[in-house]
């Protein structure tokens, strides 16, 4: 039994997940800003084997990550352009879903024990960072996979304009 489902704007593509996400990344990097056309990507990460496309065939676009140099594949609807999910050469077991494509986006909870905020150095000045979450200026791990030290805000934090 699927635990959640989603699809694109025109309805041609549908997917289901049989398990809840492993964790959630709120990403403010420029790549995610362009992909979403918005301030940041809310990205529940699923075990790739738990997610399956049940209707239609996604088109793909391969992008080389500026950070790691490794390819990221965007899976989107060729008719309406909605980006449903991404897969990563660097993390082959994971699938990152665009939370806005879920039938019930509210089913994805963002909590200190399952979510983090990354690349906040490129967040919009009007972005509000959530308190309690591990928060990183750039990626959460370095090229070798070692964790960076997080910052944790104790109240909602408006990014503001950086002094130059
Ligand atoms: Zn579509
Ligand atoms: Zn990103």
pLDDT digits (tens, 9 = 90+) for 47-88: 999 999 999 999 999 999 877 789 999 999 999 999 999 999
95-142 pLDDT per residue, tens:
999 999 999 999 999 999 999 999 999 999 999 999 999 999 999 998
The answer to the question of residue 120 being in a domain is yes
C-alpha of residue 5 to centroid of ligand 1, in Å = 15
- Decide if 111 is inside a domain: yes
Q: Tell me, what's the pLDDT at 40? A: 97
DSSP secondary structure of the chain: --SEEEE-SSSS-EEEESS--SEEEEE-SHHHHHHHTSS-EEEEEEEGGGEEEEES--EEEEEE-TTT--EEEEEE-TTT--EEEEEESSSTTEEEE-GGGBSSGGGS---TTTEEEE-GGGS-TT-EEPTTSEE-SS-SB-TTSPBPPPB--SS-EE--PPP-
Instruction: Examine residue 125 and state whether it is found in any structural domain, yes or no.
Output: yes
164 is a domain residue: no
How many structural domains is the chain composed of?
1
Report the separation in Å between the CA atom of 34 and the middle of ligand 2, taken as the mean of its atom positions: 9
Give the pLDDT of residue 75: 98
CA of 29 to the centre of ligand 2 (A): 4
Which ligand is the nearest neighbour of the Cα of 34? Answer: 2
**Does the reported pTM lie above 0.85?**
yes
Say which CATH number the domain at 26 has. 2.170.150.70
């Amino acid at each position: 039994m699927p635990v959640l489902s989603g699809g694109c704007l025109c309805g041609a593509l549908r997917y289901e997940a049989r398990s809840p996400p492993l964790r959630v990344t709120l990403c403010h990097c420029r790549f995610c800003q362009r992909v979403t056309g918005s301030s940041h990507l809310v990205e529940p990460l699923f075990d790739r084997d738990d997610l399956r496309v049940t209707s239609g065939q996604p088109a793909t676009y391969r992008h080389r990550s500026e950070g790691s140099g490794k390819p990221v594949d965007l899976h989107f609807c060729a008719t309406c352009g909605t980006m449903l999910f991404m897969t990563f050469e660097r993390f082959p077991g994971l699938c990152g879903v665009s939370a806005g494509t879920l039938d019930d986006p509210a089913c994805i909870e963002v909590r200190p024990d399952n979510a983090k905020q990354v690349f906040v150095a490129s967040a919009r000045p009007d972005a509000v960072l959530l308190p309690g979450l591990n928060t990183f200026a750039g990626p959460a791990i370095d090229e070798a996979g070692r964790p960076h030290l997080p910052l944790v805000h104790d109240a909602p934090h408006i990014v503001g304009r950086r002094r130059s």
